[in-house]
Amino acid sequence: MISRLLRCLLWIFQKVGRLLGYIIGFIFGWVPRLKKHMSGEEFEEYVYEILKRIGYKHMQITKKSGDYGVDILASYKGVRYAFQCKYYSKPVGVSAVQQAYSGCEYYGYDEAVVVTNQTFTRQAHDLALKNGVILWDGEKLMKMRHKANSHALFYRFHHAKQPHPYEEILRIIIEAGYASSDLLYQQCSMNISQIDYILDDLEFYDIVSSEDEYGIREVYISSIEEGLEILEKSSI
């Protein structure tokens, strides 16, 4: 009798804990852990949500029938990816790699990816390597989930874009009309090594010139927005 009561209480605590997890996840926008049992469609939506949170754009889930081996189409930093999603209870084999490759070719996308909660067989790895197909196993997927959740606080309610780390640097050099290590050292809370690294970056992307004999660099942009556009295109 007591053992049955304890089992019942444990079951209730587990259910309450799971319910609280979903409530907190809804409020804070966290992607939950994978369920032990999911349908193929649920897994596709799960992967879709992770991709969306980590910055993939122009996303769509393909039709359930006639998808040509691709479940999700998405773009990231100008590269178009075709995803094949496989929720399996055993390692994924070569057929998934073949489907992703052919589906990617059909849609005219750049990269084919197979995503699973499981692992891949050796044959699948060999074929993927030969055909250039990217494989995300369960461990990789959980890393992507962690990455998504690290930026997810109040995701559903706050979408404000974070300032670029170089934005303040751009403001200083535009206002001064020149760039130099001494200028930034006086106005920024950074060490000289960090400043030199940033100035070298800005020089590489033609935002500032190389330094002259006095350590002065010419500034090639006229606004912060212009500089940010250059940096965002270069993915700094």
Mean per-residue pLDDT, 70-78: 93
Look at residue 130 and tell me if it is in a domain. Answer: yes
Phi then psi for residue 206, to 5 deg, are 60, 35
Distance CA 116, CA 89 (A): 10
76 and 105, same domain (yes or no): yes
Hunting for tokens 């950074």 — which residue is that? Answer: 190
pLDDT confidence tier of residue 164, bands split at 50, 70 and 90: confident
Domain shared by 84 and 182, yes or no: no
pLDDT of residue 159: 44
Residue 117 lies in a domain: yes
Is residue 160 in a domain? no
Residues 145 and 172 in one domain: no
> What CATH number does residue 83 fall under?
3.40.1350.10
Q: Tell me how many domains the chain contains.
A: 2
Q: Are residues 139 and 38 in the same domain?
A: yes
Does residue 122 lie in a domain region?
yes
The CATH number of residue 177's host domain is 1.10.10.10
pLDDT at 236: 45
- Clarify whether residues 128 and 194 are in a common domain: no
- At 99 the pLDDT is 93
- DSSP-derived secondary structure letter, 132: T
Confirm whether 6 is domain-assigned: no
Kindly tell me if the per-residue pLDDT of 155 is higher than 60. Answer: no
Asked whether residue 100 falls in the same domain as residue 191, the answer is no
Domain shared by 218 and 141, yes or no: no
In a domain, 123, yes or no: yes
Listed in sequence order, the residues at least 6 apart from 220 whose beta carbon sits closer than 8 Å to its beta carbon are: 206, 207, 208, 209
- Can you give the residue range of the structural domain that contains 83? 31-149
Q: Beta strand 79-86 with 134-136: parallel, antiparallel or unpaired? A: unpaired
- One domain for residues 69 and 129: yes
122 and 203 co-located in one domain? no
In a domain, 89, yes or no: yes
Average pLDDT for 83-107: 94
- Report the alpha-carbon distance of residue 193 to residue 23 in Å, rounded: 45
Q: What pLDDT, on a 0 to 100 scale, did the predictor assign at position 1? A: 63
Same domain, yes or no, for 130 and 66? Answer: yes
Is residue 219 in some structural domain? Answer: yes
Higher pLDDT: 149 or 122? It is 122
Domain boundary among 83, 117, 149: 149
Q: List strands edge to edge, sheet with 134-136.
A: 57-61, 72-76, 79-86, 111-116, 134-136
Least confident residue range of 54-58, 106-110, 138-142, 143-147: 143-147
Distance of CA 9 to the CA centre of its chain: 40
pLDDT tens for residues 179-208?
999 999 888 878 888 888 889 889 988 999
* Residue 157 pLDDT greater than 60, yes or no: no
* CA of residue 153 relative to chain centroid, distance: 15
